[in-house]
Amino acid sequence: MSETAEKATLAVGGKQLDMPIKKGTIGPDVMDISSLYAQAKMFTFDPGFTSTASCESKITYIDGDEGVLLYRGYPIEQLAEHGDFIETCYLLLYGNLPNLAERKEFEDAITHHTMIHEQMSRFFSGFRRDAHPMAVMVGTVGALSAFYHDSTDINDPRQREIASRRMIAKLPTIAAMTYKYSIGQPFVYPRNDLSYASNFLHMCFAVPCEPYKVNPVLARAMDRIFTLHADHEQNASTSTVRLAGSSGANPFACIAAGIACLWGPAHGGANEAALEMLAEIGHVDNIPKYIAKAKDKNDPFRLMGFGHRVYKNYDPRAKIMQKTAHEVLQELGIKDDPLLDVAVELEQIALKDEYFVERKLYPNIDFYSGITLRALGFPTSMFTVLFALARTVGWIAQWREMIEDPNQRIGRPRQLYTGATQRDYMPMSRRGK
């Protein structure tokens, strides 16, 4: 970040206050208002953080107006096309694409840390079989801090590195165990001869009774889906991880907090909600009724998988996800998926409707992901688990950046108070009936 000679002048309380303007490499400048309270005894007010930069970061850049997403400067389209999730993890964590030796060291480290402490498998039996998988994920990922004490000292760079690699390695194992537990099948151990995505599909869909061969086309699709979900600037769950980390909480607890936040249907839970919405619509003939519901201010219904706080253009990930949906359906010989027909038609209608056009509401990553994940064999309740699995590397990269920032302080926003002014205690006898 570079300080500029430019200043913003605020006229407040009869005073002229100069606020420094800071420039990034690309994207909007920021007005540094950190001295505002000291100078004017006033706070800024921005409840949804629509105009607030919470931090300086070098990891991911989004241009919402242009529909651009860069991981460490590389366009998501190029990484999805030419790269894979393991090298995307390396890129997000260390800032550059790995060379051959770096990739081998990193991939070997991840591969050889995919097993979890055997005693952790007892955690699952404490849940009902029909527990939502995200409830299981929040609980078991948080519990990792109970098993890996040797990597919870956030001030030790070596322990931060070990914890980072442990979580990237173990989240697929925990996610697969969560799925197996929900369907009453035995857990399948990770295999070191398989790639990250193939190993995950094997742990989810293999059974002890017969060999399971991973379909390379489906594994490639799964790997690309992980890349698309890996990071996304300061979204709600990433901001949760940063805020939790700013208190010095251990990394496992911070990631569990991120999983909890991602669960919400306005955020990562939208992929599950979007597929349920498409299933509820059921047929293209029903689309107009649901478009009307989405536009009706008195109806809480929203088109799930549509709209975004930052993208006011097409989410670049949605385009790649749509292409992946077609690839997977074709590989599986699914000629026509009625839900895909509904999704494509719904998108066409919405993108021409004035209500969506003037609000710049476009499909986001969650609109097509459910169709692909369902075709891969996952139940809708697992969709956000897969999002959390992939986003773990982004959360960790952002958490490390925050911890390693020399100016890092505990995050502690203030408020506009509109409650009762001071008043004296009222004894029961005077409180009326």
What residues line the site for ligand SDX (CB under 6 A)? 48, 232, 235, 266-268, 270, 294, 302-310, 359, 361, 364-366
Q: How far is the CB of 274 from ligand SDX (least distance, A)?
A: 6
Strand partners, 381: none
341 is catalytic: no
Burial class (CB in 10 A: 0-12, 13-18, 19+), 310: middle
Burial class (CB in 10 A: 0-12, 13-18, 19+), 53: middle
Residue among 21 and 344 whose Cβ is closer to ligand SDX:
344
Residue among 245 and 268 whose Cβ is closer to ligand SDX:
268
- How many CA atoms does the CB half-sphere of 202 hold within 13 Å? 20
- Which is nearest to 114 in space by CA: 198, 232, 181? 198
Strand partners, 74: 71
- Identify whether the C-beta of residue 289 lies closer than 8 Å to the C-beta of residue 415: no
The CA–CA distances, whole Å, from 361 to 208, 320, 358 equal 46, 18, 8
Residue among 154 and 256 whose Cβ is closer to ligand SDX:
256
202 is catalytic: no
Distance CA 385, CA 229 (A): 12
Q: How far is the CB of 370 from ligand SDX (least distance, A)?
A: 11
Residue among 250 and 369 whose Cβ is closer to ligand SDX:
369
13 Rama sector, left if φ>0, alpha if ψ -120 to 50, beta otherwise: left
Q: How far is the CB of 229 from ligand SDX (least distance, A)?
A: 7
Helix %, strand %, coil % for the chain, to 5? 55, 10, 40
Q: How far is the CB of 368 from ligand SDX (least distance, A)?
A: 12
Residue among 251 and 268 whose Cβ is closer to ligand SDX:
268
Among 231, 315, 337, 366, the one annotated catalytic: 366
184 Rama sector, left if φ>0, alpha if ψ -120 to 50, beta otherwise: left
Residue with tokens 């430019």: 6
Q: How far is the CB of 55 from ligand SDX (least distance, A)?
A: 15
Residue nearest to ligand SDX (CB): 307
Buried b (16+ CB within 10 A) or exposed e, 385-418: bbbbbbbbbbbbbbbbbbbeeeeeeeeeeeeeee
Q: How far is the CB of 217 from ligand SDX (least distance, A)?
A: 25
Residue among 303 and 346 whose Cβ is closer to ligand SDX:
303
Among 229, 232, 267, 308, the one annotated catalytic: 308
Active site residues: 308, 366
